[in-house]
Structure 1
């Protein structure tokens, strides 16, 4: 698979394919970053790995060469056809390729019996990163994730309380995952180069991960839409008076109380919210 801008341009020219900005088609052209992705993911022979948006198959090829079984979802029909012609025939038992939208198939229709222990290694389309991650955090949870993201998004996901970046997605992610050292990625590592800086986010599932249910996540998102208001007032109409009082007592015991703003409340206390 191509690992240079010129090689990537040549393949795209043969396919008659113009990178689609709305699909976030910035193709990885740096072998060091591909190797770093596999290293952070601790990808070994026999691992089950989900990939989102395999594109020309650069990262996919490396995963397959490492002995992983890859389940991938690609929305672009032309690129799906290219992968079907090039990689599927050479790895018929190891490469499972689905044509579809990652928002509808966040883990590429991975079978239930494979979902007990899998990893995600992906160069994500940046436009869908947050809603896609929110879907993944509903479970089943991968043991490890290595995600190529817009650096700003990565900072938001790992933001701590009392910061402007801390929000609903930070809470959902940090309740289930520990953030391990990642890697900054310059725009020159892609073709065409994006206008923003990127980051390889490295996440390891906690020994006892916490998964918020859909109702609780909806309440948390609603609270952060008015993040400068006091939590006591924000809870009215969203949870029962009894549950609100009980949770505010928890906040008070932790030195916060009903006058706290959503961004001041740590993940551990959000986990105690009953909806």
Structure 2
């Protein structure tokens, strides 16, 4: 079970550790959220589960108790050693003490394609880490505690101010299910921003853009309020000229802004080339 705020404070003092804001160290202290995370991900015995930033090991212990094989990445050496200690040499815990942007899937074996990600994701790395995951083996499920703003970007639909490149890439490969807002009182220390528990399930036929198209979409969304035809004309990407010729054939108004074009239309543009 998660520790109470006072127990968490005492444990951190015993470890000689002060929570580091730059690493997003806000520790989960609500058992209901832990249970909800495992329920959404349908964690069962024998599942390979990647966890990012286990912190004090609350979620890690729950995953191990459920019988999962946990591949965790913890950047903070003090917290990494603590997680190892509470796991008590459990063979199903595989912990890397390092940067999740360097080890986005921990030590997940190369031959494991059916895996899950369950994590209280450090806010500072959420989008670059997600971009890296989308270039690797896609998990069948992701249940992520995120900064509310990041969750809104991930789940955003075309026509909203949150809609961007990461929204397109995620909606192409995953069903992004409605999130659950989580109170700041569920963490110690209490974060300055809101949090959301977001659930993503891999589509039966996930779609991934080619690297050059991924780069082009990111480039386009840097000027999201300009006309798509103008942005494609100015781009040096070979893909841009093909997309420009194809806009009207798939129902995209050349004067539309990138933020107005839904994920399916971007996929259609890519499929014309693929």
Provide TM-score, normalisation by structure 1.
Answer: 0.94
User: How far apart are 1:84 and its partner, in Å?
Assistant: 2.0
* Of 234, 255, 263, the match for 1:267: 263
- Determine the structure 1 residue equivalent to 2:114: 117
Match of 2:55 in 1: 55
**C-alpha contact (below 8 Å) 1:29/1:190 kept by paired residues:** yes
Quote the residue 1:258 is aligned against.
254
C-alpha separation between the residues in 1 aligned to 2:240 and 2:24?
41
Aligned to 1:3: 3
1:231 aligns with 2:228: yes
SS of residue matched to 1:155: helix
Deviation at 1:249, TM superposition (A): 4.8
Residue pair 1:26, 1:190 contacting (<8 A) in 2 also? yes
Indicate whether 1:25 and 2:22 are aligned.
Answer: no
C-alpha distance in structure 2 between counterparts of 1:53 and 1:212, whole Å: 28
Displacement after TM superposition at 1:215 (Å): 1.6
In structure 1, the residue matched to 2:243 is: 247
Local SS of the residue matching 1:45: coil
8 Å CA contact 2:2–2:31 kept in 1: the answer is no
Does structure 2 conserve the Cα–Cα contact (< 8 Å) formed by 1:88 and 1:96? no
Report if the CA contact (8 A) 1:230-1:258 is conserved: yes
In the alignment, structure 1 residue 148 sits paired with structure 2 residue 133: no
> How large is the Cα RMSD of the aligned pairs?
1.6
1:108 paired residue number: 106
Residue 2 (structure 1) shift: 4.0
Displacement of 1:180 in angstroms is: 2.0
Kindly state the Cα deviation for residue 183 of structure 1 after the two structures are TM-superposed: 1.6
- What's the secondary structure of 2:212's corresponding residue? helix
Residue 251 of structure 1, CA deviation: 2.8
Q: Is there any run of 5+ residues in structure 1 with no aligned partner, and where?
A: none
Cα distance in 1 between the residues matched to 2:9 and 2:228: 52
Aligned pair count? 270
Matches of 1:233 and 1:181, distance apart in 2? 34
Q: Give TM-score scaled by structure 2 length.
A: 0.94
Shift of 1:261: 1.1
CA contact (8 A) 1:248 1:257 kept: no
User: Paired residue for 2:46?
Assistant: 46
User: In the alignment, what sits opposite 2:197?
Assistant: 200
Instruction: Give the CA deviation at 1:255.
Output: 3.4
- Measure the CA separation in 1 of the matches of 2:86 and 2:96: 15
Find the aligned partners of 2:195 and 2:188 in 1 and give their Cα distance: 13
| 2:231 matches 1:211 | no
1:12 equivalent in structure 2: 12
* Larger fraction in helix: 2
Equivalent position of 1:79 in the other structure: 79
1:97 paired with 2:95, answer yes
